[in-house]
Amino acid sequence: MRQVYSAIQQFFIAIALAAIGSVISNIQSLSGLGSLLTIVGSVMSIISVYRLRHENRHFAKAFKYFWIYVGLTVVLTILAVAVLVSALASAGSSSDALIASVLGGSMLFSVVMVIMAIVILVLALMVQYQTYAGFEELRELRELNYPPKRILWCFYISIISMVITFAAVAGSVFLMIGALTGGDAALYAAIDTLDMAANVMLVVGVVIEAVQLWLVFTYMQAAKAAVDAERPENWG
């Protein structure tokens, strides 16, 4: 159980680093540090899942889906760079020609890239679900003193956060489209509204990150209690 607790502790530290990185990335002078913390946290979290892969099938699936996610992300990035390089080569120094070249590319190719992006998003959600489902099954198998199904709220909150973000982005796009047809006054008003919305989204993001951290922290405490309750000869 000590090894299990160590992996859970590492997972908590990982998501804490990622949460801090996500928040400070919104500060322009600290955006680089924020991105670095987010990357380090993501790497640590998947390492902790790897350490737990033999505990149940959910952790093993999460680790497998993660590598599929990474592979497709790399392929999509290479394709996007290839399209941009091709457009730059054919457009020369004209920005209008560059835009026309990108937009005038193969429709089928564009559709394939969009589908790949959707698949990558679904895989990211599957990694999260399998991870927290693994923690839920671990709670049952190890008889942790933790409320059933509570840890799954980490996944549900991620879904809620994604829906809120999508709605905010869609609203921002429609707001700017409307402002562009309403003159300078409407445009400045829209920019002020977007600034206020960005601050609200930052607060919402902090609250969501805090709730997820609390859920994992209390789970970690339950695992620690199970370790403390074991006799030394039964450790491991």
Could you tell me if residue 106 is inside a domain? no
Task: Average the pLDDT over 213-225 and give the result.
Answer: 92
Could you tell me if residue 35 is inside a domain? yes
Give the end-to-end CA distance of the chain in Å, rounded to a whole number: 5
Greater confidence (102 vs 141) lies with: 141
- Lowest-pLDDT range of 1-10, 67-76, 100-109: 100-109
DSSP string, 117-144: HHHHHHHHHHHHHHHHHHHHHHHHHTT-
Task: Average the pLDDT over 26-40 and give the result.
Answer: 81
Does pLDDT of 199 surpass 70? no
Banded model confidence at residue 172, pLDDT cuts 50, 70, 90: low
Could you tell me if residue 59 is inside a domain? no
Spatial contact of 124 and 73, defined as CB atoms under 8 Å apart: no
Q: Which range of residues forms the domain containing residue 188?
A: 2-51+143-234
Task: Average the pLDDT over 55-72 and give the result.
Answer: 89
Q: How many CA atoms lie within 13 A of 15 on its CB side?
A: 25
pTM reported for the whole predicted model: 0.76
27: number of Cβ within 10 Å: 11
- % pLDDT > 90, the chain: 25
Could you tell me if residue 226 is inside a domain? yes
Does pLDDT of 99 surpass 70? no
Could you tell me if residue 60 is inside a domain? no
Could you tell me if residue 82 is inside a domain? no
Could you tell me if residue 132 is inside a domain? no
Could you tell me if residue 213 is inside a domain? yes
Does pLDDT of 180 surpass 70? no
Spatial contact of 143 and 226, defined as CB atoms under 8 Å apart: yes
Total domains in the chain come to 1
Highest mean pLDDT: which of 43-52, 76-85, 191-200? 43-52
